[in-house]
Amino acid sequence: MKVLVAVKRVVDFNVKIRVKSDGTGVETGNVKMSMNPFDEIAVEEGVRMREAGTANELIAVSMGPRQCQETIRTALAMGVDRGILVETDAELEPLTVAKLLKAITGKESPDLVILGKQAIDDDCNQTGQMLAALLGWGQGTFASGIEFGDGKVTVTREIDGGLETVALTLPAVVTADLRLNEPRYASLPNIMKAKKKPIDTMTPEDLGVDAAPRLKTLKVEEPQDREAGTMVETVAELVDKLRNEAKVI
């Protein structure tokens, strides 16, 4: 089975996000960037399939500026075979990423595409669903378990208050949730080996996709500062404050 995995370069999850002073977005200059955490889980799942022999080729795709190569190299160091970089300085939104992935799927004919359930920078949670719709393939989103057999993939999904299991006919799209697995750290020898693995570079134009945005960001604001809480001595005082100060009861 051939597996494609989508990896996005995002501001590292440990970085305290700062909004640009003109409110047009968040500061990304001189900020540590890393692979989207849900994509690390997607890569790990692909690498486990590769190790188990379920997959015989694993390809990582990233889209964005040239530095996305570093994100692909991380995936290669984790065990991915080769990379594809779709290089562009355009702001990419989920529909464009889904169209680009569809075009790559047309060239590579994978049996499975694994994405993260959500990118932690835009929090869209749209790309996997849009890709499945554009391809006309089945989708198993928020996967916490994946099993293969008889040309089918069985996906356990995390839903409100429980788990749902769906069976999809391959080819299919799966998006990885937090509990699917625990991604490995790349070892130094594998980081060295990854330097020799191939990365193909192309542009949205090469893939016949118009990357012009359809969405316009009007304003980005810092969340409001939370006021400090107060300690109350008794339940009666709490009820009094809720009734007369907060006026919520």
For the CB of residue 30, give the shortest distance to ligand AMP in the complex, in Å: 21
- Contact criterion met (CB below 8 Å) for 71 and 7: yes
Residue from 136, 137, 145, 138 nearest 165 by CA: 145
135 belongs to the binding site for ligand AMP (CB under 6 A): no
| Given 46, 116, 138, 183, the residue binding ligand AMP (CB under 6 A) | 116
Sole binder of ligand AMP in the list 1, 3, 4, 6 (CB under 6 A): 6
Tell me: does residue 94 bind ligand AMP (CB under 6 A): yes
List the Cα angle 183/55/10 in 5-degree steps. 40
By CB under 6 A, residue 126 contacts ligand AMP: yes
Q: Is 96 in the site for ligand AMP (CB under 6 A)?
A: no
Q: Distance between CA atoms of 7 and 28, rounded to whole angstroms?
A: 18
Opening angle at CA 90, ends 172 and 199, nearest 5: 55
Check residue 62 for interaction with ligand AMP (CB under 6 A).
Answer: yes
Compute the least distance from the CB of residue 93 to ligand AMP, in Å.
Answer: 8
Residue 55 CB contacts under 8 Å (≥ 6 apart), including other chains: 1, 2, 3, 46, 49, 112
- Which range in 4-12, 48-56, 178-186, 225-233 contacts ligand AMP by CB under 6 A? 4-12
| Sites for ligand AMP among residues 42-61 (CB under 6 A) | 42, 61
DSSP classification of residue 29: T
Closest distance between ligand AMP and the C-beta of residue 19, in Å?
A: 19
The nearest distance, CB 204 to ligand AMP, in angstroms, is 11
Query: For residue 101, with 0-12 CB atoms within 10 Å meaning exposed, 13-18 middle and 19 or more buried, which class applies?
Result: buried
d(CA 25, CA 20): 6
Task: Specify the residue, 122 or 241, whose C-beta has the smaller distance to ligand AMP.
Answer: 122
Q: Which of 1, 3, 4, 8 binds ligand AMP (CB under 6 A)?
A: 8
Assess contact for 98 and 214: CB atoms under 8 A: no
For ligand AMP, how many residues bind (rule: CB under 6 A)? 24
Q: How far apart are CA 92 and CA 217, in angstroms?
A: 12
Tell me the closest approach of the beta carbon of residue 5 to ligand AMP, in angstroms: 8
Q: Which residues bind ligand AMP (CB under 6 A)?
A: 6-8, 36, 38-39, 42, 61-64, 92, 94, 97, 115-116, 118-119, 122, 124-128
